[in-house]
């Protein structure tokens, strides 16, 4: 993706020309689509530029997040149309914050207490444009990675998945954590860069570059849709639909 070129030094570009990954990673035949932390707390309940949005939602990614979500709409639709399991991951509501972590920006000092109760209640809800549908799976997590301490790895083994296609928020945080764990578990990994978002542009692009070099293949929406169509209807998708039955929640 050309977007990361703007954040590379001249020496970086020279080094990548001789050291960087050559070609593309192959993806498998039985993928799942993992949608990470696409809730209102990450973008706000209204579409506003980030510097406006963070006044109400301190962890918002602003319009860049909304743009990525808009691109997720056809991505998720394509997965469902082709029988690719769609798995959502989000924070487990009410789980206490790790006191060893640095307090997230605005988390304790401002928060969202000034917002109406019905708006505050949206914080951990998946954005309506890409909300789970019957047959999708919801996994709730207590730390950045969707794998750590959750049943996700067990489900992937149960359905015979060999590939994890990842999108969501934030590129440098929870997305990256899931990508590293998926790769460590020897799954093939695709990162839909157009459908990932972060608060800092530099963090977004450099982490996409880094993941592409080391842990998976960054792809665009068009490539992901073509891939889903090519492998659609596999047994993994059918097994998950039967196992999940309806839209399911799997708590930590």
Domain ranges for the chain, please list them: 27-250
Other C-beta atoms closer than 10 Å to the C-beta of 3 total 13
Contacts of residue 144, Cβ cutoff 8 Å, sequence gap at least 6: 173, 174, 177, 178
For residue 97, the number of C-alpha atoms closer than 13 Å in the C-beta half-sphere is 8
Nearest to 160 by CA among 89, 238, 229: 238
Q: In what order do the strands lie in the sheet with 188-197?
A: 217-219, 188-197, 163-169, 31-36, 86-91, 137-141, 248-250
Q: Domain 27-250: which topology?
A: Rossmann fold (3.40.50)
End-to-end CA distance of the chain: 35
pLDDT tens sequence across 217-251: 999 999 999 999 999 975 444 433 323 333 333 33
pTM: 0.88
Contact indicator for 198, 226 with CB cutoff of 8 Å? no
pLDDT in tens, 121-136: 788 899 999 999 999 9
Instruction: Encode pLDDT of 82-92 as tens digits.
Output: 999 999 999 88
């Amino acid at each position: 993706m050309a977007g990361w070129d703007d954040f590379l030094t001249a020496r970086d570009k020279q080094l990548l020309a001789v050291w960087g990954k050559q070609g593309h990673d192959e993806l498998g035949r039985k993928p799942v689509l993992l949608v990470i932390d696409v809730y209102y707390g990450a973008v706000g309940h209204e579409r506003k530029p980030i510097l406006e949005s963070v006044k109400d939602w301190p962890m918002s990614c602003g319009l860049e997040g909304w743009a990525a979500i808009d691109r997720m709409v056809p991505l998720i639709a394509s997965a469902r149309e082709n029988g690719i399991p769609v798995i959502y991951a989000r924070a487990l509501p009410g789980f206490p914050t790790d006191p060893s972590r640095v307090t997230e920006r605005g988390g304790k000092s401002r928060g969202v207490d000034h917002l109406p109760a019905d708006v505050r209640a949206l914080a951990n809800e998946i954005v309506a444009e890409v909300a789970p549908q019957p047959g999708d799976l919801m996994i709730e997590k207590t730390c950045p990675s969707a794998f750590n301490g959750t049943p996700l790895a067990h489900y992937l083994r149960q359905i015979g998945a060999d590939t994890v296609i990842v999108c969501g928020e934030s590129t440098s945080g929870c997305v990256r954590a899931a990508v590293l764990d998926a790769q460590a578990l020897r799954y093939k990994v695709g990162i839909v860069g157009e459908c990932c978002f972060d608060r800092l542009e530099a963090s977004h692009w450099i982490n996409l570059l880094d993941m592409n070099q080391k842990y998976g293949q960054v792809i665009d929406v068009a490539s992901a849709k073509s891939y889903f169509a090519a492998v659609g209807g596999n047994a993994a998708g059918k097994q998950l639909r039967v196992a999940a039955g309806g839209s399911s929640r799997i708590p930590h």
